[in-house]
Amino acid sequence: MKKIAVLISGSGSNLEAIIKACTSKKIEGTVESVICNDPKAYGVKRAKSFNIEVKIINHKDFSSREDFDNELENYLMQCSPDLIVLAGFMRILGDKITSTFNGKIINLHPSILPLYPGLNTHEKVLQNNDKNHGITIHYVSGELDAGPIIAQGLIEVKSNENKGSLIKKIHKIEHVLLPEIINEICKGNIKLQKDVVVYKNLSTIKNGIIRKFYEL
């Protein structure tokens, strides 16, 4: 069983989806630790409700981003996870930590990258009248939301769509696709080799990535 560390900043709904998938054996791994940069985040309560260790590393306690990264890196080295999942973690990691754990950190981003890195993705989709919206799961590099893409989940943007309805739909596909990808990584069917995503025993590859469309 692979050891998983999950980093969060907010409500932790994806964290709960990952934990439940581990508990039901849909992921060949266990969430060994949860790290949060906001002591008031609801995700802390979610983790504790499943009796999972929570480490608070409050970014406000550090005078620089480098100091925060060093503390985070030191803790991760202690935990020695096989996989690190950024699930709504709202801090940009520096080059040192992404280099140290290269090929072990994945991120979930709420857009069809390379469209809309950063914040406010749902608003941008509506403003630009996009036909589709979705999520991207990718390996983390030193550049914001720009590491090698593993998988994307897409939905159609309906004519009566608003920000609230988009967020609900995006959360639904996050809670399905993220655990699936984590499981394939834990099984060794997805790896990062020389900055290229390598797939094994998977039949859903299109244009070099896993790409799924969801009818919602």
Q: Is 88 exposed, middle or buried (0-12, 13-18, 19+ CB in 10 A)?
A: buried
**91, two tokens:** 């801090």
Do 175 and 110 meet the contact criterion of CB atoms below 8 Å apart? no
Task: Return the residue matching tokens 């159609």.
Answer: 156
One-character DSSP codes across 88-106: S--SPPPHHHHHHTTTTEE
Catalytic residue among 59, 109, 138, 175: 109
**188, two tokens:** 């060794």
CA 149 to CA 136: how far, in whole Å? Answer: 7
Task: Return the residue matching tokens 């834990």.
Answer: 186
Three-class DSSP category at 32: strand
**94, two tokens:** 């520096």
Three-class DSSP category at 34: strand
Residue 116 to residues 62, 65, 200, 205: CA-CA distances in angstroms? Answer: 29, 24, 29, 23
The C-alpha angle with vertex 53 and arms to 44 and 66, in degrees rounded to 5, equals: 75
Task: Please say if 171 is a catalytic residue.
Answer: no
Report the catalytic residues: 109
